Structure 1
């Protein structure tokens, strides 16, 4: 799949009437923090990403191909990197990139820039 196919992956979630709540019990987590960040991504509508931190656990809920995927924090040399299936969401400062590992190592990611925080 080439770069033009990759751009269709990251998209805003449509408005839906049904939502699912997920509860994760972390008895040793001292506190839970949630940050909501809006990004403008290359040639796409703005997206909203939820970052959840509970103790040493870090999650990011990122809309990919019309579905909210839960990304788990993984080892990163710099910035914060999250993984979900074949995808990596990598943030550094106010920018973020979505990688699809099925595209191969030479594929360019979808680049995003933070435009707001809730």
Structure 2
């Protein structure tokens, strides 16, 4: 799984698949691109891919580097995670958590896509 994510990350992050996310065993629809504005900081873009197997992925900048997150279990909204990072979206709102800082309190709260 780790090798798969590394390969997928390289494929997407290098721009080789800017319009698609390629995993031969899973079909993905066109990417959904959203720009988020947060109370602090400059706007940033998140690209989402939804697979026909129920999985979805989000590619977003974390500490200035493109980071690929995968959806995980959530009672409300869509929760994406990679390592200690969690990006939790609910409609057009989103919060970023870093478990190394505080798993219960967002490190970036009140983000909204337009």
TM-score range, shorter chain: 0.7 to 0.9
User: Which ranges of structure 2 fall in alignment gaps of 5 or more residues?
Assistant: 1-12
TM-score relative to the length of structure 2? 0.75
Equivalent residues in 2 for 1:1-118, closer than 5 Å: 19-21=14-16, 24-29=22-27, 31-55=28-52, 56-111=54-109, 112-115=111-114
Q: Which has the larger radius of gyration?
A: 1
Query: Which blocks of at least 5 consecutive residues in structure 1 are unaligned?
Result: 1-17
Measured in 2, the distance between the counterparts of 1:89 and 1:48 equals 13
Q: 1:33–1:54: 8 Å Cα contact kept in structure 2?
A: no
CA distance in 1 between counterparts of 2:33 and 2:39 reads: 20
How much has 1:20 moved relative to structure 2? 4.4
How far 1:24 moved relative to its partner? Answer: 3.7
TM-score by length of 1: 0.72
Whichever structure has more helix as a proportion of its residues is 2
Show structure 1 runs of 4+ deviating over 4 A.
none
Q: Deviations over 1:50-93 (max 9, x none)?
A: 00011112000011100010000000000000001100000001
